[in-house]
Structure 1
Amino acid sequence: MRRLKKIGIVLAVLYVLLLGVTYAFQEKLIFIPSKMPANHVYDFCQPYEEFWLAAPDGARLNAVHIQNNSQKGVVLYFHGNSGNISHLIHVANLVTRYDYDAIFVDYRTYGKSTGELSEAAIKSDAQLFYDYTKQRYDESTIVVYGRSFGTGVASGLAAENNPCKLILESPFYSAVALGKHRFPIFPIDLLSNYRFPSNEYVQRVKCPITIIHGTADRIIPFEQAQDLFTQVPDGQGTFYTVEGGGHNYLQDFDVFKKAMDTALK
């Protein structure tokens, strides 16, 4: 019994230490930024303008404005938790195919952007880019589009503003719910500094919402998107199931193309 007690104490101490490490380094578990030299020249097929916005805390935020001289409007796009703007050539091709302009945003520490990460800072930065977009386009022509991690940013932004459409590709129910799925042994409710409650946000969104998710997604379970869709006001959302689709390359499926044909018509 004494030996079992010692083992129990050791395991408890290790668990507490693991909790502390997880809390202290949660940004490393959530964000996988890919940095880019400040002098990098983006390789988009379309005419574009690279621009910077200054955050109140001094962070410099990098973005690209794809300029197709569209009469339809613009897609304000928030990517996932890895990569950067330079990886969005296929998105630029998709958006311009539907005759929209596009604005691609790099979060703090991603690409050329600088600053310290926090949920409040990411939300504030997103609003800066939305305000930039509103200065150049009528708000009734702004489509907010988020993918993966970016769906939490996009849904929160749409809840606070009045875009014409919200597109969520491979979304989570909330960052906390996703954290519980990935790390079931930890009290994520207490540990997480990143909550992004998309389930609450979509209830306040006033425009049509399109949700697209693959059934074979191993990063964000398909059920998270299903649960999120139950929070969308009746008659305001459309859910597209991509059978066999994983977390990436949904654009290769006909269902995804159908979703885009409807959302970006």
Structure 2
Amino acid sequence: MPYWLSTLLLILAIYMAISIVLYYLQDYMLFKPEKLPSDYQFNYENQDIKEYNLKTRDGAVINGLRFFPKGESRGVVLYLKGNSKSIKGWGKFAVDFTRHGYNVLMVDYRGFGKSTGKRSQKAIKRDLQLVYNKLKELTTEDRIILYGRSLGSGFATKLASMNNPKMLILDAPYYSLTKVTARYAPFMPLSLLLKYPLPTYKWLKYVECPIHIIHGTHDKLIPYKSSVKLAQINGERTKMHTVIGGGHKNLNNFEAYHKMLDDILNNEPKPIDLETTSINVKHSSKKSKKQA
């Protein structure tokens, strides 16, 4: 066998081996779950909570927490978290919404916290739709806000595309998970290998509620430009909120982020009489001629 052919076959064998490893180990590389014992007691200072366990049709259990606001409720925020830890730690972010009068419901994906069941993109989407359906039994859709953080942004977008919530808020969203992972393995056929492609850009075009995208300019994991691209897909319904200097995990440490949430949650959009604006004014493309 010629040397060049044996070298080529060796390279192909290595490539195939890496592809197989990526396919079967991607769950371990993508997800960083924290598992909790079934008798774990959640506790948050100055937070009124209630724990829920929802059984799915395939026998899995989805564990969640509801955080109550002080006083009368304005609605509920379904908060879909990132890919690490459990709602044990993510619960501290509920205060950013309860302080505005909203209930907050956080759930753990399969294999996170107390939630059980075999994880897959299809199963998680089905679980979250079940959770959403339960919310609709408690309140009307015009009082439901979907908030998706990082990994949760894709699932939140899918839910919004299939339902009619009050609004969709995406925090550090990705164009697709395939695009994110391709930055770390540019020569691998991830479009074929990835079990969780999560094409946010495909689902976003079908969302009919107001869309708010929040992203930090210094995000090293999911680049800011991914949100800029997403904002153009459903432009008439989308508003972009930029946290200057914000990274992927620290937006809550910026005053600007909380001002943005205040604006999103409390300021109702006002209709504009476009006839009173300059919308139809055209800039001349020709240089004006000097008069003699």
Flag whether TM exceeds 0.5 (same fold).
yes
Q: For residues 123-171 of structure 1, what are the alpha-carbon distances to aligned partners after superposition, in whole Å with 9 as ceiling and x for unaligned?
A: 0000011011111122111000010000011000011001101110000
CA distance in 2 between partners of 1:155 and 1:113 (Å): 22
Q: Show the counterpart of 1:212.
A: 214
2:167 is aligned, of 149, 165, 168, to: 165
Q: Show the counterpart of 1:245.
A: 246
1:111 is aligned, of 113, 123, 133, to: 113
Q: Show the counterpart of 1:221.
A: 223
CA distance in 2 between partners of 1:182 and 1:217 (Å): 15
1:203–1:232 CA contact under 8 A, matched in 2: yes
Structure 1: segments with no counterpart, 5+ residues? none
1:70–1:101 CA contact under 8 A, matched in 2: no
Q: For residues 166-188 of structure 1, what are the alpha-carbon distances to aligned partners after superposition, in whole Å with 9 as ceiling and x for unaligned?
A: 11000000122222223211111
CA distance in 2 between partners of 1:183 and 1:81 (Å): 19
Say yes or no: does 1:61 pair with 2:62: yes
2:91–2:106 CA contact under 8 A, matched in 1: no
- 1:14 Cα offset (Å): 0.9
Q: Show the counterpart of 2:282.
A: none
Q: What is the correspondence of 1:138-217 to structure 2 with a 5 Å cutoff?
A: 138-217=140-219
Residue range with higher mean Cα deviation, 62-71 or 49-58:
62-71
RMSD (Å), alpha carbons = 1.5
2:125 is aligned, of 100, 123, 126, to: 123
- 1:25 Cα offset (Å): 1.5
Q: Secondary structure at the match of 1:151?
A: helix
Q: TM-score, normalised by structure 1?
A: 0.95
CA distance in 1 between partners of 2:97 and 2:88 (Å): 15
Q: For residues 35-55 of structure 1, what are the alpha-carbon distances to aligned partners after superposition, in whole Å with 9 as ceiling and x for unaligned?
A: 111111112231111011111
Residue range with higher mean Cα deviation, 122-131 or 84-93:
84-93
Q: Show the counterpart of 1:91.
A: 93
- 1:204 Cα offset (Å): 0.9
Say yes or no: does 1:43 pair with 2:40: no
Among all aligned residue pairs of Structure 1 and Structure 2, give the percentage whose two residues are the same amino acid: 37
CA distance in 2 between partners of 1:89 and 1:103 (Å): 9
1:240–1:255 CA contact under 8 A, matched in 2: no
Q: After the TM superposition, which segments of 4 or more aligned residues of structure 1 sit over 6 Å from their partners?
A: none
- 1:247 Cα offset (Å): 0.5
Structure 2: segments with no counterpart, 5+ residues? 267-292
- 1:86 Cα offset (Å): 0.6
CA distance in 1 between partners of 2:234 and 2:14 (Å): 41
Partner amino acid, structure 2, of 1:256 = Y
Q: Show the counterpart of 1:10.
A: 10
- 1:195 Cα offset (Å): 1.9
CA distance in 2 between partners of 1:157 and 1:81 (Å): 18
- 1:4 Cα offset (Å): 4.8
Q: Show the counterpart of 1:71.
A: 73
CA distance in 2 between partners of 1:17 and 1:178 (Å): 22
1:214–1:246 CA contact under 8 A, matched in 2: yes
Q: What is the correspondence of 1:227-238 to structure 2 with a 5 Å cutoff?
A: 227-234=229-236, 236-238=237-239
